[in-house]
Structure 1
Amino acid sequence: MDFAAWEPIYERILEDFGFDRTGDEEAARFISHMLTRENTASLSELKDTISGKPVLVCGNAPGLRNELLKIDLSAFVIIAADGAAAVLMDMGRVPEVICTDLDGNSEADIEKEILACERGSIVLVHAHGDNMDKLEKYVHRFKHFIATTQARPFDNVYNFGGFSDGDRCIFVAKEFGAKSIKLAGFDFEDSRVNPIKKKKLKWAKELIGMLGI
């Protein structure tokens, strides 16, 4: 993602939610200090995992498990958003890639993400202004991850586009040349969510639409 193209969208999102960009930038600097040669996955490895392959992107809508039961999971590289990784792990399928900000998960779900990482998942850990406590608590336990930000990228902290975990998964699939992208576990009209989540779903729908998915 060209940040010059992303930045105006990012500014609109910040304005809509009343978020402060400086918090995102502080979190990005914070996670950058936690990166070492030993715990950082490479972009070339991520590209090799995704490029030219059919990708199934899993969001964490309540109907995810039922949708997955109707899909041949072996036919896809799977990119899981946050809590969707726990659903997949419970079904015996380790996702190849996980995008998580560690923020919407129970501790049990985060432990499953850490286990998935130990079993080969490339985890994209996202830093933003509201999750520095989770970054401090959990990031050191991920042994194979890539750091991401929604603000300006720098050094080895990347911005592939997207705002919430689900749409970031799709931006990653696009960025690294997926042959095709199928969605499961996305419900943009879920009436049971709180107002903030409802607004996030609205933005997710708009951002995914920009990609032509």
Structure 2
Amino acid sequence: MDFAAWEPIYEQILEDFGFDRAGDEEAALFLSRMLTEKNTASLSKLRAVISGKPVLVCGNAPQLRKELMEIDLSAFFIIAADGAAAVLMDTGRVPEVICTDLDGNSEADIQKEIQACEQGSIVLIHAHGDNINKLKKYVPRFKRFIATTQARPFDNIYNFGGFSDGDRCVFVAKEFGSESVRLAGFYFEDPCVNPIKKKKLKWAKKLIEMLII
């Protein structure tokens, strides 16, 4: 994703939520200082494993577990959004890629993400204005990862597009040349979530439709 194309969308999101861009930039800078040669995964490996593959992107909606039972998971390369990784691992499947901001998950779910990383998952850890404390607490536990931001990328901090974990997964799939993208565990009209989450789901739907329709 060319940042010049993404930036106007990002600015709309900031305005809609009343978020501060400076907070995102501060978090990205904080995460960049935690990166070393040893804990940084390569983009070339990410491209090699995604390019030309049919991708199943798993969100963490309540119906995910039921949907997974109806899908032949062996036919897909799987990218999991945050807590969806724990659901997948409970079914015996380690996702090939995980996109996470480490925010909103239980300790047990994050431990599953760390375990998946140890078992070979490529983890993309996302920095934003509200998760510096989570970055500080959990990032040192990951063996290797790729760092992302929704603000301007720099050095070893990347922006492939997307806002929430679920739609970022789709952006990653498209950025790295997936053959196709199928969704599981997405419920854009969930009536049981709070107003902020409803707005995030609305944006997720809009961003995903921009990519795959």
Structure 2, unpaired ranges of 5+: none
Once the two structures are superposed, the pairs formed by residues 56-205 of structure 1 within 5 Å of their partners are 56-205=56-205
Q: 2:34, 2:6 → 1: CA distance?
A: 25
Are 1:7 and 2:7 counterparts?
Answer: yes
Q: Hey, what's the Cα distance between the residues in 2 that align with 1:6 and 1:148?
A: 14
Please give the per-residue CA displacement for 1:125-182, whole angstroms capped at 9, x wherever unaligned: 0000000000000001111100000000000100000000000000000000000101
**2 CA distance for matches of 1:21 and 1:147?**
17
3-state secondary structure, aligned to 1:105: coil
Between the aligned partners of 1:190 and 1:89, the Cα distance in structure 2 is 24
SS at match of 2:147: strand
- Deviation string 1:95-141 (CA, Å, 9 cap, x unpaired) is 00000000020010000000000000000000000000000000011
Structure 1 counterpart of 2:152, one-letter code: R
- Confirm whether residue 45 of structure 1 aligns to residue 37 of structure 2: no
TM-score after normalising by structure 2: 0.99
How far apart, in 2, do the equivalents of 1:43 and 1:132 lie? Answer: 24
Is this contact kept in 1: 2:181–2:212, CA < 8 A?
A: no
Deviations 1:181-205 (A, max 9, x none): 0100000000000000000000001
Amino acid aligned to 2:24: D
**One-letter code aligned to 1:31:** L
Gaps of 5+ in 1: none
Find the aligned partners of 2:74 and 2:137 in 1 and give their Cα distance: 33
What is the count of residue pairs matched by the alignment? 213
The DSSP-based 3-state class of the residue aligned with 2:183 is strand
Separation in 2 of the partners of 1:31 and 1:40? 12
| Counterpart-to-counterpart distance in 2, 1:170 and 1:31 | 22
Q: Which stretches of structure 1, 4 residues or longer, exceed 3 Å deviation after superposition?
A: none
Q: CA deviation at 1:212?
A: 2.5
Asked if the contact 2:86–2:109 (Cα under 8 Å) also holds between the matched residues in 1, the reply is: yes
SS, match of residue 120 in structure 1: coil
**TM-score calculated relative to the size of structure 1:** 0.99
Provide the rounded CA distance (Å) in 1 between the counterparts of 2:123 and 2:212. Answer: 25
